[in-house]
Amino acid sequence: MPLRLILLALLLILPAASGAQDKGVVRVTSDVSYEYLARWDVERLNKILTVDTPKFAGVTVTYSPAVNAVRLYRVSYASVVPERGNKPIRATGLLAVPEIGETSLPLVSYQHGTVYGKQEVPSFPEQSPETQLMIAQFAGQGQLLIGADYFGMGLSTEPEGYMVKASHQQATYDMLLASRAVLNDMHLTATRLSIAGWSQGGFVTMAFLEKLESAGETVAAAATASAPVDVFVALNGFLSFPRKNDAAWVNSLFILSAFAFENYYGVPGLARSVISDSYYEVARKAYTREPFNVADVPTDLHKLLKPDYFDAQFFATSIYGRLVAQTQAYRWIIKSPVRNYYGESDEAISTGLGRLAMTYQQAIGAGNTKVKAVSTGPTSHRGTFATAVPQWKTWFDKP
């Protein structure tokens, strides 16, 4: 057979998705495009599971080994900011496609945790150890995986919308719709939808679930690890009832939320009313990702915050406190099966907060049993995530 015909035959039998590797940016619709990033082989994926993740999380956990390579794509899509009158913006996220022969595959949406680098997010997987674990454990086992970067992260030009609930819901929901359009372009179909997230991403996962249920979407399973489902509960704990093991980095929760709420809810001067004058400028740089010395940000909240916020009544009635009080993701009648995993030595999420969604749902009349809290034992914040992931996998795989 002439060489020309052999090459033509090879092109015809290649999976449709692999063709995107050489196309640069592929425009699917006027609102959605995608670009090929990389191919991670089985060896790379199993190194993530056996070497990289234990180093990141500080615990050794047994994961299901990867059995297939994965192709990674960055998805760019149009969205809107609900808090700003549905201002049109563009956002990004990751799509991971397993290299297997099937065209109908289950889909997992992963919501990432708090990060300090603008590109430490799913669509920049080399910079996101948590995303690497999800790729290796789920996409490496034949499942589609997506992850939104959230507004202000990845390639988004907006200020970060940290813990801004409606924007988190919009980012994740529009990423799901955009991913389905991309998969259709690749001649692939997403079937069973499961969602999961860690830390901030646990909150986002629950908020996403609320959005999905309100839109009539069927969610097979929703799982979280170390989820601050009620930010008012979380921040009050650090202010009024601190624990001996509270993380030094909880200062970032106040900084990022104060500036994000100021920007997204349109409250000029909000962050300045929360952050002490001495540390306002370095806190602002931390939020905007300008260069700053991390050591200049005090870990002692009594230095970082204005003294009034340690008065529980003042905090509750302040503009900041009232916005924080609205930032919850568990107070509706949940219809989908949910498991909230929590660590008993978690330096950021108390056991009470880890169990809160279940406690609330079970307090409704005879009790809503859809939500279960699951302990991962005496695990740290990262350890809880690392330990929960294979349990998510086992649960998601059940018919």
Question: What are the tens digits of pLDDT across the range 27-51?
Answer: 999 999 999 999 999 999 999 999 9
| Cβ–Cβ < 8 Å for 230, 292 | no
Q: What percent of the chain has pLDDT over 70?
A: 94
Position 21 confidence tier, pLDDT thresholds 50, 70, 90 = low
* Tokens read off for 233: 């509960």
Can you point out the beta strands (E) in 99-251? 104-111, 144-148, 189-198, 221-225
pLDDT at 88: 98
Residue 333 has pLDDT above 80, yes or no: yes
- Please state the rounded mean pLDDT for residues 233-239: 98
Alpha-carbon torsion, ordered 246, 164, 157, 132, to 10 deg: 50
Per-residue pLDDT, averaged over 309-324, amounts to: 98
Q: How confident is the model at residue 142 (pLDDT cuts 50, 70, 90)?
A: very high
Output the CA–CA distances (angstroms, integers) from residue 107 to 192, 223, 351, in the order listed. Answer: 6, 14, 30
The answer to whether 326 touches 199, Cβ cutoff 8 Å, is no
**Residue whose token pair is 């900011």:** 81
| In the predicted structure, residue 23 carries a pLDDT above the cut 80 | no
**pLDDT(17) > 80:** no
Provide DSSP, 281-298: HHHHHHHHT----GGGS-
Positive or negative torsion for Cα 184, 186, 189, 192: negative
What value does the mean pLDDT take over residues 306-314?
A: 98
What is the residue-averaged pLDDT of the chain? 94
User: Burial, 344: exposed, middle or buried (Cβ in 10 Å; 0-12, 13-18, 19+)?
Assistant: middle
Q: Is the pLDDT of residue 15 over 70?
A: no
pLDDT at 10: 36
Look at residue 243 and tell me whether its pLDDT is greater than 80: yes
Position 1 scores a pLDDT of 46
Which candidate, 350, 355, 347, places its Cα nearest to that of 380?
Answer: 347
Tokens of 219: 């969610």
Question: Sorting pLDDT into bands at 50, 70 and 90, what band is 18?
Answer: very low
pLDDT-derived band of residue 22, with 50, 70 and 90 as boundaries? low
Instruction: Write b or e for each residue in 214-232: b if 16 or more Cβ atoms lie within 10 A of its Cβ, otherwise e.
Output: eeeeebbbbbbbbbbbbbb
pLDDT band at 399 (very low <50, low <70, confident <90, very high): confident
Helix (H, G, I), strand (E, B) or coil at 149: coil
Residue count of the chain, please give it. 399
Percent over 90 (pLDDT), the chain: 94
Does the pLDDT of residue 298 top 60, yes or no? yes
Cα distances (Å, whole numbers) of residue 139 to 100, 149, 254, 382: 10, 18, 34, 21
pLDDT, mean of residues 382-394: 98
For residue 11, pLDDT beyond 60: no
pLDDT in tens, 73-131: 999 999 999 999 999 999 999 999 999 999 999 999 999 999 999 999 999 999 999 99
For residue 7, pLDDT beyond 60: no
The stretch 53-82 carries a mean pLDDT of 97
Query: Region 328-345: what's the mean pLDDT?
Result: 98
pLDDT at 19: 46
Radius of gyration of the chain (CA): 21
